[in-house]
Amino acid sequence: MALLATERLRPAIHPTYARLVCAHLRQEGFDNETILQGTRLHWEQLLGGNRYLSLEQLARLLRRATTLTRTPWLGLDIGGITSVSAHGALGYAIVSAPNLRVVLHTLARFTRLRFQLVNVVISETDEHFTVSMEELSGLGDVREFIYSALLVTYLQLVDTVTSQRLRNIQIELPISRPQWADVYEQRCGCPVMFDAPAFRLQMPVSVLDTPCLTADAGTFRTALRDCENQLRQLDNGGALSQQVSNCLLNSPDGYPSLDDVASRLAMSRRTLIRKLKTEGTSYQDLLDGVRQELAAWYLLETTVAVEQIAERLGYQDTSNFSRTFRRWFGMTPHAMRGGSK
């Protein structure tokens, strides 16, 4: 399978942020059916536990949202309406931290619990404290949304815990200066530099000791313990459904069977079935999901022949693949690519 497809389809984004996009669109007057039209996503899927979305899935939702709202700075809007509680245990760790220094270190360590496409790096000199981000996978056409949402989220979290607008900050974004650059400065309350080599927030070291008005040592310890447990799970491959999806995505020579996957994950077939059921899914659901995403990706992003796509997805009979594809998407593979039904 193409590496790019594997990267874009790998589960990496907590569904909370897709839910927030949908909630914002509902407030704008759109219903769920209209919002999700053409995205190949379902509201039940977004609500179904904490199964992470892929970059490709998020990109489809964001393209749809931008079309509906005609708001190219959508990331600023979503970041601005994201409450601390939306970040789960990480959010509670942040609001209960003792001071801004601990807040920023906590964000740097645990951001990937919610968003696994960037690595947060912090550095400190005698004068400046810097938060920067490294892309772990190309963000493509959602780069502006991701960085603008992260920017406003970070600033909002700082405002929440300090109860003041600390805006003696230098902001650099790795996106071309948009026509709506003034919206960034209005929302951020300070200048924003575009066309930078990387995302970077730099602030004076003197503000790091600013106390958090919501500090609570007991809550912080509990939330930090929860974050550490989640991080260990993530380092072991994430939730079981995510591990199975990754296993299927990373099998270019044919999909492993249920028994093969169970063996790779060092558990019995029965245990795998039971644990996936507790996450609201099954091996067959995950296999169908991977096949659906890959089928659509190949059709829309490549020129690979339908017959070859069917073979890559494990279908020996192209007509059988076409029937299954019509059941998935309500159209034939040729229709999705732009041909006739």
Contact 93, 105 (CB under 8 A): no
Domain finish residue from 183, 213, 236: 236
Residues 24 and 146 in one domain: no
Token couple for 91: 């959010």
> 212-243 burial string, b = 16+ CB within 10 Å, else e?
bebbeeeebeebbebbeebeeebeeebbbbbb
Domain total for the chain?
3
Residues 118 and 164 in one domain: yes
Residues 204 and 87 in one domain: yes
Domain finish residue from 204, 236, 268: 236
Domain finish residue from 179, 210, 236: 236
Tell me the torsion sign for CA atoms 322, 328, 329, 331: positive
Q: Where are the alpha helices (DSSP H) in 115-216?
A: 143-162, 181-188
**Global confidence as pTM:** 0.83
**Separation CA 107–CA 223 (nearest Å):** 13
Encode the chain (341 residues) as per-residue pLDDT tens digits: 444 667 778 888 888 999 999 999 999 999 999 999 989 888 887 876 677 889 999 999 999 999 999 999 999 999 988 888 889 999 999 999 999 999 999 999 999 999 888 999 999 999 999 999 999 878 888 899 999 999 999 898 888 888 777 778 999 999 999 999 999 999 998 899 999 999 999 999 999 999 999 999 999 999 999 999 999 988 888 889 889 998 998 876 688 999 999 999 999 999 999 999 988 889 999 999 899 888 998 888 889 999 999 998 888 889 999 999 999 888 999 998 875 44
Residues 93 and 203 in one domain: yes
Token couple for 146: 């991701």
**DSSP conformational letter for 268:** -
Domain of residue 270 covers 240-337
Residues 231 and 245 in one domain: no
Strand, helix or coil at 89? helix
Residues 244 and 218 in one domain: no
